[in-house]
Structure 1
Amino acid sequence: MKPSPSVQVTFDQLKDAVSHSTDFVMKSMDFAHCKYGLFYLETMVDSEVFQDHIVRPISLRPDLAVKEVVTIRVMKESDDIQEAIAAIVKGQTVLQKEGETTLYLLGTEQKKERAINIPTNERVLRGPHEAFIENLDTNINMIRKNIASPDLVVTYFIIGSVSRTRIAVIHMKGIANPDVNNVIEQRLQNIDIDIAEAPGFIQEYIQETKFSLFPQLLTTERVDRARAYLMEGKVVILAEGAPEVTILPVSFWSFFQSPDDYQISWWIGSVFRLLRILCFFIGLGLPGLYVSLVSFQTYVLPLTVALTIQGALKYITLQPVIEVIVMLFALEVLREATVRLANPIGQAISVVGGIVIGTAVVQSNLVSNTAVIVASITGLASFIIPSYEMSSSVRLINLIITLFSALFGLVGLVFSFFCLTIYLCRMNTMGLPYFYPSLVDSDVLDTIIRAPIWRLKRRPKEAAPVNKQRFRNSRR
């Protein structure tokens, strides 16, 4: 819809569009030979920028063209009322000169953001202590400072018919696979929703499998981690209002990697990575192994161990599978309470709750000491995984494996892992296998172990990069 040449008529049109909101105002500036109208939401504009760069310059030189007078960085001409409305609700000021239909959209948004701080969800042992914040432009600025290359490509999208959330897709030209990038951009363009809560909504709309037991996208708040994955040929998605970024495509092994692995000695980093993978299997199978051995195959254990466990279970009221599930449930309740409450209170509840519940259930002969130990080790093993999504998946899937073990013993345990392996092998992310790269040849150098940096000459295959060579021989 075209604006009217009359400033007052344009104001009435805009006021109707914003539902006669009280904070929408018009500032009229009348001069001898001309008249200006400024339309804006007074709760959204920066008053200093508004006065110093718009009102004062026009007052000093009202006869000159708007482009020559207004000293503001962001300025755009428009002859569409709908575009002006979208600019106003974002905090911009719309300027119109009486008798003209051209609207000037001026960037006067009030920008309030928190300072760049250290990552809170991903602890930094060594390396940069910078974390993303809720401002999209600041996040892109941090990435560009870390990758000062003209090949860093940023593409913007608007998602949400009501929220109009800005989304940025970043990739490295010449490294990232253009086919993968096109698939990601196409899925973003197909999103039709009124409000986009990032990154959760975005992830569920673009991931390969709608109903997946394991995470298919990696989320991080660390700038150095996003930079490292960009240089490997992956794509990073940022959203306005989200202090985390989404990285894709990723493989199963990406969820066990940490930026700290590359800041320490290669063999220490390899030991820590192997420890995380081992804890993944412990978190999945330890409760089921305990239930199957105690309920069915006790003869597999050494005699002294079997007698000790049987003696501990002699006066226990609950069945082994029930006591394990009860302890895992109590562990999840304590974890959720610790996360949701304030930090000092949460720490106190986690310590006191663990001691009280553990002591009470053992002394009341509801749960054996062995079940408490199994549940504790299972919880610790899941917490060591760097990815919160993968850790949560482990804690939920181990309940299914425990039930199969309670029904069929060790056969059920082995069958559960067999089905889980088949499921993982069949999964894809952005058309690439979830278990890619394989554990043969040079692919194993940065999957289950972390080889020396000078051995990692080629980029990982999981993102199918166009430029596979990372560097030449650096230790001549």
Structure 2
Amino acid sequence: MRQHPSIEAAESYFKQLFSEQSDFQSKQLLIGGNVFKLFYFETLVDSSLVQDFILQPLLLRPQDSIREVVSILDYAESESLEESVQAILYGKVVLYQSGDSKLYLLGVDLKKERSINIPTNERVLRGANEAFIENLDTNINLMRKLINSTEFVVKTYTIGRLSRTKVAVMYIKSIAQTAIIEELDRRLTSIDIDYVEAPGFIDELVLEKKFSLFPKLLITERPDRARAYLMEGKIVIGTAGSPDTIILPVTFWSFFQSPDDYQVSWLIGTFYRLLRISCLFVTIGLPAVYVAVSAFNPQLLPINFVNTLQSSLKFATFPPVLEALSMMFMLEILREATIRLASPVGQTIGVVGGIVIGTVVVQANLVSNTIVIVTALTGLASFVLPSYEMSSAVRLLSYPALLLSSMFGLFGLAFFFMMICIHLCQMTTLGLPYYTPPFSFRDTKDTLFRAPIWSLRKRPLGTVASNRIRTRNPRSWKR
């Protein structure tokens, strides 16, 4: 609704709306025969900016227009009281001059943010040491410094009836698919909720409803990693108040890639990528294989290994399946305790607790030596995965695999892996396939393997890029 308020009406409207806000300020100034009124939250504005760029210029040039006097980049004019209320809530000063039909919205908000620091959750050996912070404008600044192109597009949304959370969608116009951008825009604009807390809310509000443990979006705190996915045709979503950005649509294989893969030789990068994929099977299947060969299929193992296994189980109190379940559950407790406690205490609890519990349960003949080794290897293998979300999903999948193996042996484990493959093939993100079996060599060059950069001439089909040409003549120096 457009209004032409008087100074009395504006003051009455603001005071009625913010009557319970102790930090709301309404200041009146009489300068050069003109009455000026300032409305703002003192906890949101920078008082020095108000003094230097609003009050002093008005005192020196009271007869000039506000636009000529105030030297602030974040300047806007409005005739709507509702729009002015939103400006006040965002940390702006609303300036009113008697006899004027306009309200002047001046951006002098107080900037309180932590400095740009090194990534804490995605540490790599080589590469940039900058991480996103909670300020969305700063995060966009980091991205624009990395991508100096007019093709880099940033679109902002305001989501949440109460929180009014600012959300930024970033993509490369010449690479990203227009249909995916339009579909994401439709889903974001249709969100009707009180507040948004990213990245969890975006995952459940934007992506397809599907009961699955596998993550459908990639979360990163590294600007260089976000840039790499933008160059593959992906979309990056950042939200105010969160240092994590969301990358979508992604495939199953994206969760096994790390920035380190592209900073070392392609042979070394391929080895570590295959190691991560192997750790996926170890995390899901190792406890299940232990139970299956102990209770159902010991004939599949060499005789010396069977003798060692049987001797370790001879004095164990619990059967193999309960051994595995109890030790895996104990590992989850230790892991959660180390995360929730303060860093020095958490590290001590993790080391001491693991050693004490592992030693005591074996000496008390509650479990066998072998299951302690199996549980430790399973935990280490889960930590190799670069994505926290994928690591958590894989650890949880080991429980149903363990139960099926305890009932049907290795046939139950094989059936479980078959069901996982079927489930992955049914999943989609923004209407695109989530999992493509690695049968095509062209697409495995940057999924299962990390082929040389000069050979990656096209983006894989899973990147959903509208422009699949990545490099044209990367080694033109070679005769």
Amino acid in structure 2 at the alignment position of 1:54? I
Question: RMSD of the alignment, in Å?
Answer: 1.2
The residue number in structure 1 matching 2:109 is 109
Q: CA deviation at 1:442?
A: 1.1
Amino acid in structure 2 at the alignment position of 1:387? S
User: 1:227-276: per-residue Cα shift (whole Å, max 9, x none)?
Assistant: 00001110000000110100011101000000110000000000000000
The residue number in structure 2 matching 1:214 is 214
The residue number in structure 2 matching 1:428 is 428
The answer as to 2:193 corresponding to 1:190 is: no
Q: How does 1:13-412 map to 2 (within 5 A)?
A: 13-412=13-412
User: 1:311-355: per-residue Cα shift (whole Å, max 9, x none)?
Assistant: 111111111111101100111111111111111111111110001
Q: Is the 8 A contact 1:436 1:461 kept in 2?
A: no
Q: CA deviation at 1:394?
A: 0.6
The residue number in structure 1 matching 2:470 is 470
Query: 201-210 vs 99-108, which deviates more?
Result: 201-210
SS at match of 2:241: coil
Task: Determine the C-alpha separation between the residues in 2 that align with 1:375 and 1:75.
Answer: 60
Task: Determine the C-alpha separation between the residues in 2 that align with 1:142 and 1:166.
Answer: 17
User: 1:288-322: per-residue Cα shift (whole Å, max 9, x none)?
Assistant: 11111101111111111111111111111111111
User: 1:19-49: per-residue Cα shift (whole Å, max 9, x none)?
Assistant: 4311111111113431110000011100111
User: 1:46-102: per-residue Cα shift (whole Å, max 9, x none)?
Assistant: 011111000110111111111011111111111111111111111100011112231
Q: Is the 8 A contact 2:32 2:63 kept in 1?
A: no
Q: Is the 8 A contact 2:323 2:371 kept in 1?
A: yes
TM-score, normalised to structure 2's length? Answer: 0.97
Amino acid in structure 2 at the alignment position of 1:395? R
Quickly say closer, same or farther: Cα 1:209–1:6, change in 2 above 3 A: closer
Amino acid in structure 2 at the alignment position of 1:324? A
Task: Determine the C-alpha separation between the residues in 2 that align with 1:437 and 1:366.
Answer: 42
Quickly say closer, same or farther: Cα 1:248–1:313, change in 2 above 3 A: same
Task: Determine the C-alpha separation between the residues in 1 that align with 2:469 and 2:209.
Answer: 31
Amino acid in structure 1 at the alignment position of 2:35? K
Quickly say closer, same or farther: Cα 1:315–1:437, change in 2 above 3 A: closer
TM-score, normalised to structure 1's length? Answer: 0.98
Amino acid in structure 2 at the alignment position of 1:401? A
Q: Is the 8 A contact 1:167 1:238 kept in 2?
A: yes
Q: CA deviation at 1:403?
A: 0.5
Q: CA deviation at 1:208?
A: 2.3
SS at match of 1:474: coil
Query: 97-106 vs 85-94, which deviates more?
Result: 97-106
SS at match of 2:176: coil
Task: Determine the C-alpha separation between the residues in 2 that align with 1:5 and 1:430.
Answer: 46
Amino acid in structure 1 at the alignment position of 2:270? S
Q: CA deviation at 1:16?
A: 1.6
SS at match of 1:446: coil
Task: Determine the C-alpha separation between the residues in 1 that align with 2:69 and 2:437.
Answer: 59
Task: Determine the C-alpha separation between the residues in 2 that align with 1:439 and 1:157.
Answer: 40
Task: Determine the C-alpha separation between the residues in 1 that align with 2:204 and 2:363.
Answer: 45
Q: CA deviation at 1:378?
A: 0.6
Task: Determine the C-alpha separation between the residues in 1 that align with 2:4 and 2:148.
Answer: 46
Q: Is the 8 A contact 1:432 1:463 kept in 2?
A: no
Task: Determine the C-alpha separation between the residues in 1 that align with 2:11 and 2:110.
Answer: 22
Structure 2: 5+ residue stretches without partners:
none
Task: Determine the C-alpha separation between the residues in 1 that align with 2:206 and 2:173.
Answer: 21
SS at match of 2:445: helix
Q: Is the 8 A contact 1:425 1:433 kept in 2?
A: yes
Q: CA deviation at 1:460?
A: 2.2
Give the count of matched residue pairs: 476
Q: CA deviation at 1:4?
A: 6.0
Task: Determine the C-alpha separation between the residues in 2 that align with 1:7 and 1:117.
Answer: 46
Q: CA deviation at 1:438?
A: 4.2
Query: 239-248 vs 94-103, which deviates more?
Result: 94-103
Quickly say closer, same or farther: Cα 1:467–1:316, change in 2 above 3 A: same
Quickly say closer, same or farther: Cα 1:214–1:19, change in 2 above 3 A: farther
Q: Is the 8 A contact 2:270 2:449 kept in 1?
A: yes
SS at match of 1:255: helix
Q: Is the 8 A contact 1:15 1:21 kept in 2?
A: no
Runs (4+) of structure 1 moved beyond 6 Å? none
SS at match of 1:250: coil
Amino acid in structure 2 at the alignment position of 1:215? P
Query: 202-211 vs 347-356, which deviates more?
Result: 202-211
Task: Determine the C-alpha separation between the residues in 2 that align with 1:325 and 1:156.
Answer: 47
Q: Is the 8 A contact 2:153 2:171 kept in 1?
A: yes
Query: 31-40 vs 131-140, which deviates more?
Result: 31-40
SS at match of 1:373: helix
Q: CA deviation at 1:210?
A: 3.5
User: 1:143-168: per-residue Cα shift (whole Å, max 9, x none)?
Assistant: 11101000001101000000000000
Task: Determine the C-alpha separation between the residues in 1 that align with 2:371 and 2:288.
Answer: 11
